Every structure is written in structure tokens, then in C-alpha cells.
Chain A
Amino acid sequence: QVQLVQSGAEVKKPGTSVKVACKTFGYTFSNYYVQWVRQAPGQGLEWMGRINPSGGSTYNPQKFQGRITLTRDTSATTVYMELSSLRSEDTAVYYCARLFGNYFDSWGQGTLVTVSS
């Protein structure tokens, strides 16, 4: 069945970068966009952008432009989200999700990224 499995929790210092992996299983990798969403502690869901695994094109909302890099490894059926210039406000659980039609039908389990000096 469709599964998205994310890499483990990270602790990072302010100003550094983090790279989160999302490995996909159970479907044709190139056929579905993968989205990234984050959730700060006790807060709501915030969309960070998406990648088309077929050609690698990406789109990110303006808030994250210049700080986020989405990539994919088609041979490994894995997508990656790298966020740079980390600050304390980036402490959050980061989720990947598959876009099916116009909704997110499968989600990764989440990766906690803690930014602390």
C-alpha cells in the first residue's frame, strides 16, 4: 500500500540547515507530486511547497523562497526538503504528503526538527 516514511528527528543550531528525507513506497513515484507541510508546537498546519518527482520542478510560497530546497532521487523514490538559515521559529514537525488529484491522501509520520542553541 501507499506509504511515505520520513527520516528521524533532528536537533540543529540556529543558522544551520536541515535536510529531511521522505521515502515513498507502493505507487509509481513519478506520477504524484509530493507536498511539504509543517506544524509548530501547538499550532496549525502550514504548507511549505511541493515537488513534481517527474521533472523535479518545484514551487514554494513566498515565505519560504530562498530558504527551502526540494529535491528528489528517482532511483530511491525519495524526496528531500532542505531548510537553511534555521531559527527558533522553525522548530516544528515537518510532514511530507502525496498529492492525489487535489488533496493529500497519504502522509508521512512526521519529523521533529528542533532548533536550539
Chain B
Amino acid sequence: DIQMTQSPSSLSASVGDRVAITCRASQTIRNFLNWYQQKPGKAPELLIYAASNLQSGVPSRFSGSGSGTDFIFTISSLQPDDFATYYCQQTYNGVTFGGGTRVEI
């Protein structure tokens, strides 16, 4: 099974900060890497697919990069609405989620 290691598990930041979250796969997953945002009591929502593609309707302050085993998710200028937990997900072989990163404003 492919393991996804996400870091940090939590972070505190201020409005306007640049925030970066990393996700590492235990083996190559090419670009089969997606990022989701989940707010308390809600289902996850897709932000980035195929490592670097912004889902329709998602603000451009969100971005993703990487391929192979190492990936980065970035929020360029943190907004109050971005308080949430973020998950990476691989769909290269089965499906595995990272452990999540809780972003506190």
C-alpha cells in the first residue's frame, strides 16, 4: 500500500501569511495527487487535482506543485475563510489520504 506522509500536522498563521504544506508518498505516484479542504462538520472539498490543477471555482491563492513522491500545497495569502483541515490524496494505486494539516488562523 502507498503511504502518504503529510506535514505539518497543524500550524498557526496570520491573515496574509503564505502557508505551505508538504505531502510525501512512499513510492512514486507520478502526478496522481489531489488536495482537499475540510471544514468542521462538512464534507471535504476538492481544491487541487493532478498535483497542480486548480479546481473550477477555487480561488487562485491556492496552488499545488510536485511530482513523483514530493508535493507542496500553498496558500499564497491566508484568508479568514481558510481556517480548515487540508488533506492530500493519492489515486495512483488505490486511494490513500495523508493525515491532514489543521490550519489555525
Contacts and interface: CB of A to CB of B under 8 A. Distances in A.
- Interface of A (DSSP majority class): strand
Interface residues on B, range: 20 to 34
Interface in B13-46: 32, 34, 36, 38, 43-46
Contacts of B91: 102-103
Given A44-B99, A45-B97, A61-B94, A102 B50 contact: yes
B5 interface: no
A114 interface: no
A57 to B, nearest CB: 15
A44 B43 contact: no
Interface of B: 1, 32, 34, 36, 38, 43-46, 49-50, 55, 87, 89, 91, 94-100
Contact of B50 (A61, A103, A107, A110): A103
Interface residues of A, number: 19
Contacts of A44: 87, 97-100
16 contacts: A44-B98, A45-B97, A47-B96, A47-B97, A61-B1, A61-B94, A95-B43, A101-B50, A102-B34, A102-B49, A102-B50, A102-B91, A103-B91, A104-B46, A105-B49, A108-B43
